[in-house]
Amino acid sequence: MCPSGRLVAAYDATELTPPYRPELLGPDAAHCLLLLFTDYLVVLNKQAKASISSRGLLALLDGSDVSREVRGDELSFGRSLPIDAFDITEMDGNKMIHIVPNSQLLVASRPSSNYRGPTPGTGILVYHFSGAYEGKAGRFIEDLTKSRIEGRYPEAERESQKWEVRSASGVDLTFMVAISEENTTVKGRKSSSIVTIKVNSSNQPASFDPAGPEIQATLSMLHAEFFKLEVLGPCNFQSKDHLTPIEFLPVLTKRCKCSFYKDGMRTITNDAQ
């Protein structure tokens, strides 16, 4: 599985093994580069900590550094994951990320002969950031969320007047929202987001689509400055609230968190459409 989307960013990191404590890293630590594309997350194994950094690799790729060459033994392919094929949380005070693939079959890996990290394809992955992103795991999650949104819609739709992106901060969650027209005939759209919010102008009762997003919300206007928010989620979760515009984001945050907890999930990247 190879990326075909745009390269967004690169990050220096170390892949951790249980008990996932970076202070226990020794000379055999599995240093690596994380390459974030709009459709894949690719891991390149470093053969030594002194191998090329993420900043150096980007400089080579964009042609701004022609004085250095990457030796054939500096980097090797570790694994690639479609960016919509895993859940992610930040750990240890914004220092690490915790990745849980939706399916082990979606993890493609080919470790090098001297790879010292965890066995690829076994499930949970934990990375500790270093270099420019040390202590900034939240920045990676923000980049990942934006990349997921960009990769979900074709370029023609993103550049049209019927598509826009907005961000909104709730009590504990930050939503990155892609606003688009509900049109099933658009070609090139990929998998849906975790949360979908539909503006219901007909005030028809909301219904849960098992093949749709995990959380499906419907917003209806009852009368001026008063709305009805219906949220449907996994494990038969459902809620109905009457609220004002000021109450919308706090209530939506609360309902989404309740739905995730009922499904046995915890905080994950929250992008909506």
Q: Are 83 and 148 in contact (CB under 8 A)?
A: yes
Domain 7-147 coded CATH 1.10.1040.10: no
What confidence score (pLDDT) does residue 253 get?
Answer: 82
CA distance 202 to 272: 22
Burial bucket for residue 141 (CB in 10 Å: 0-12, 13-18, 19+): buried
- Count CA within 13 A, CB hemisphere, residue 178: 28
Taking Cα atoms as reference points, which of 138, 147, 103 lies closest to residue 122?
103
What confidence score (pLDDT) does residue 271 get?
Answer: 55
The stretches in the chain having pLDDT less than 50 are: 104-121, 261-270
Instruction: Tell the residue number behind the tokens 């002969």, with chain if given.
Output: 113
Write down the domain spans for the chain. 7-147, 153-272
CA distance 228 to 222: 7
The pair phi, psi for residue 192, each rounded to 5°, is: -80, 170
Per-residue model confidence as pLDDT tens digits over 205-234: 677 887 778 888 888 888 878 999 999 888
What confidence score (pLDDT) does residue 199 get?
Answer: 85
Q: Are 117 and 45 in contact (CB under 8 A)?
A: yes
Per the structure block, which two tokens stand in for 117?
């990290």
CA distance 28 to 14: 11
State whether the Cα torsion 197-200-203-205 is positive or negative.
negative
3-state secondary structure of 163: strand
Q: Are 178 and 189 in contact (CB under 8 A)?
A: no
Facing residues of 164 across strands? 179
